[in-house]
Amino acid sequence: MSAASDLSVALRDFSANVRAEGRSLILRLSGNADMAAKDSLDSLLPRVHAEAQRISATEVQVDFRNLEFMNSSCFKSFVTWISEIGDLERSKEYKIRLLSNPEMHWQRRSLHALRCFAVDLISVES
């Protein structure tokens, strides 16, 4: 796996880290993904995408359960990432599983919108 520092973000109010589990990656997000997190997320998600392809991942789990909020700029970073997966050859595609927290009410609508954007690639779990 790429160096952990390449696949992690630690800001004052936002953090993200990635770990591998077999042919899956688990991206865990915590805190508040607002404007302060945007640049970090913009640079992290392409690296996650590259790592997923490097290990021929079948799935990337994105754990939103400790994410208090995500603004539209950070949401766009995910939209771009999902679009990039959709642009891969079918044999190189991998699935994305979004782990949500029902107590973070914004997630129900936002993650549903992401899922509808690529229903063949994305599933949402509470």
For tokens 């997630």, what's the residue? 107
Residues contacting other proteins: total by CB under 8 A: 24
Q: Does 11 bind other proteins (CB under 8 A)?
A: no
User: Under a CB-based contact definition with an 8 Å cutoff, are residues 41 and 9 in contact?
Assistant: yes
Interface segment toward other proteins; rule CB under 8 A; list 1-9, 16-24, 88-96, 100-108: 100-108
Name the 3-class secondary structure at 13.
coil
Residues numbered 15 to 54 that lie near other proteins (CB under 8 A) are 32, 34-36
Main-chain phi, psi angles of 52, to 5 degrees: -60, -40
Distance CA 93, CA 96 (A): 10
Q: Does 13 bind other proteins (CB under 8 A)?
A: yes
User: Which residue, 26 or 36, has its beta carbon nearer to other proteins?
Assistant: 36
User: Which residue, 3 or 119, has its beta carbon nearer to other proteins?
Assistant: 119
Token duo for residue 119: 């229903």
User: Which residue, 26 or 75, has its beta carbon nearer to other proteins?
Assistant: 75
Rg (alpha carbons) of the chain, rounded to whole number: 13
Distance CA 91, CA 88 (A): 8
Residues engaged in binding other proteins (CB under 8 A): 13, 32, 34-36, 69, 71-73, 75-76, 79-80, 82-83, 104-106, 108-110, 113, 116-117
